[in-house]
Amino acid sequence: MSDNKGCSRRNFFKIAGALGAGPILFPANQAAEAQPEPGSPTPVRIPVRAFGRTGVKVSCLGLGGIFDITTNQLLLKQALRWGVTYWDTAESYVGGKSERGIGQFLKKYPQTRKEIFLVSKSTRYDPEGLSQYLAQSLQRTNTNYIDLYFLHGINSPSLLGKEARAWAERAKSQGKIKFIGFSAHSNMEDMLLAASKLGWIDGAMIRYDFRLMRSEKMRRAVDACSKAGIGLTAMKTQGKGSVAVDSEAELELASRFVKRGFTDAQARLKAVWEDPNIASICSQMANMTILMSNVAAALDRTKLTSEDRKLMDAFALETSGGYCAGCTSICEPAIGQAAPVGDIMRFLMYYNSYGEVEHARNCFAAIPIEVREKLETIDYSGAERLCPQKIKIAELVMRAVKTLG
């Protein structure tokens, strides 16, 4: 966060208070083009970081767009006002309302397009599907180019083959995208290590949190991408699991961090930001309260101490049985049948830890019906024996069938 003057710890609550004060918030009848009056204080702006070898600097906090942006236009104005210029969306989010909401904003305030680093994604990976979904995204977002386009939710390096590279080069030459990459919820380490050797991947978005940072393989993978010049975006940084937990370690964490002037949620963001290889954190901020809290955390320069990290490690160990680390290359082959264990664990996380009931059920419903019908008949014992987290996979899958089905 060296690109911004930031703020000292003693000013943390002062800034947090200012973020919520009336004068800093955009009135509903004023646009993002509003300029400060002569002599007025410079608006708060969060730090930026270099995004790999692209030559672009992005806000260290990104706006995750898995919500109905069409009804949250004021939130976009305020995010831009505070320097949250990395905006993440996808053709699959909220039935298109995420992309349409951004398009609605850009249509009203076209001069802001040059400030925004716009990310969108495709859930189809063949050239025809990529072209179709990109055209749809461009139309919805009311722009003629996407800054960074992702192959979304892939878990195998085989999808980053010659066809994908040729398509990306063609889309770049046509000016429809500036950069290409992928997002991954599982097998992140293998994906990063493979991408670092390809030479044409510009960016990647991965699950990355205070738990996964402890993994030696993850550290090696992140370092490899950094050396290869690949810009990295972290998502799911709170380290939530498939099961909502109520542990003594978490209460101790919350108590300690409040005394230090920030929340445990903000501390989890800080843990990721303290890794210089991470360019931005993509956080779903569907309301002003979360936006304000995360911006305040981005501005505060207080470093986590060794004791802070010990407590976070203790919490990670205590609750590991409810946290899926995404290593599906271990568990899913052991089942011997088509069962998307990693996806199911993620959907349970949405349901139990994030409270996103509708989103979790919609994701589960997207699993082919022939797969869902067999979930209760599969023997998961082999996968459970191999699971590094010792997750009770069978029990959680059955719970998903009952609560999400």
Q: What is the pLDDT of residues 256-307, one digit of tens each?
A: 899 999 999 999 999 999 999 999 999 999 999 999 999 999 999 899 999 9
* Inside any domain, residue 118: yes
| 3-class secondary structure, 13 | helix
* Inside any domain, residue 159: yes
Query: CA distances (Å), 226 to each of 37, 62, 204, 231, 287, in order?
Result: 41, 19, 11, 7, 32
Q: Residue 6 — very low, low, confident or very high, per pLDDT cuts 50/70/90?
A: very low
User: Could you read off the pLDDT of 29-58 as tens digits, one per residue?
Assistant: 333 333 344 444 556 899 999 999 999 999
> How far is 62 from 278, CA to CA, in rounded Å?
12
Q: Which two tokens stand for residue 381?
A: 């014992």
Rounded mean pLDDT, 308-334: 92
User: Could you read off the pLDDT of 74-107 as tens digits, one per residue?
Assistant: 999 999 999 999 999 999 999 999 999 999 999 9
Read off φ and ψ for residue 361, nearest 5 degrees: -70, -35
Domain with residue 107: its CATH number is 3.20.20.100
Rounded mean pLDDT, 185-199: 97
Residue 183 has pLDDT above 90, yes or no: yes
On whether both 337 and 275 belong to a single domain, the answer is no
Q: Determine the pLDDT at residue 246.
A: 67
On whether both 43 and 118 belong to a single domain, the answer is yes
Q: Which two tokens stand for residue 67?
A: 């919500």
204 against 336, higher pLDDT: 204
Domain boundary among 257, 272, 305: 305
On whether both 357 and 278 belong to a single domain, the answer is no
Look over the chain and give the mean of its residue pLDDT values, rounded to a whole number: 89
Read off φ and ψ for residue 207, nearest 5 degrees: -65, 130
On whether both 367 and 299 belong to a single domain, the answer is no
161 against 249, higher pLDDT: 161
Read off φ and ψ for residue 113, nearest 5 degrees: -55, -40
Q: Residue 26 — very low, low, confident or very high, per pLDDT cuts 50/70/90?
A: very low
On whether both 293 and 333 belong to a single domain, the answer is no
* Inside any domain, residue 196: yes
Q: How many structural domains compose the chain?
A: 2
Where in the sequence is the domain holding 371, given as residue range(s)?
324-404
* Inside any domain, residue 270: yes
* Inside any domain, residue 4: no
Q: Residue 250 — very low, low, confident or very high, per pLDDT cuts 50/70/90?
A: confident
* Inside any domain, residue 288: yes
* Inside any domain, residue 316: no
On whether both 239 and 353 belong to a single domain, the answer is no
Query: CA distances (Å), 116 to each of 25, 86, 88, 137, 378, in order?
Result: 19, 6, 10, 15, 46
On whether both 73 and 122 belong to a single domain, the answer is yes
On whether both 298 and 330 belong to a single domain, the answer is no
* Contacts of 246-255 spanning 24+ positions with Cβ under 8 A: 247/315, 247/318, 247/319, 248/318, 249/311, 249/314, 249/315, 249/318, 249/319, 250/315, 250/319, 252/311, 252/315, 253/311, 253/312, 253/315
Q: Determine the pLDDT at residue 354.
A: 87
Least confident of 173-182, 282-291, 334-343: 334-343
Neighbours of 253 (CB within 10 A): 20
User: Could you read off the pLDDT of 359-380 as tens digits, one per residue?
Assistant: 999 999 999 999 999 999 999 9
On whether both 291 and 386 belong to a single domain, the answer is no
On whether both 251 and 395 belong to a single domain, the answer is no
247 against 24, higher pLDDT: 247
> How far is 134 from 51, CA to CA, in rounded Å?
22
Least confident of 35-49, 60-74, 205-219, 222-236: 35-49
Share of the chain above pLDDT 90, in %: 80
**Any idea how long the chain is?**
405
Query: CA distances (Å), 60 to each of 53, 57, 82, in order?
Result: 16, 9, 12
On whether both 47 and 176 belong to a single domain, the answer is yes
Q: Residue 3 — very low, low, confident or very high, per pLDDT cuts 50/70/90?
A: very low
Domain boundary among 261, 277, 305: 305
Domain boundary among 270, 305, 340: 305
On whether both 252 and 346 belong to a single domain, the answer is no
* Inside any domain, residue 215: yes
Residue 402 has pLDDT above 90, yes or no: yes
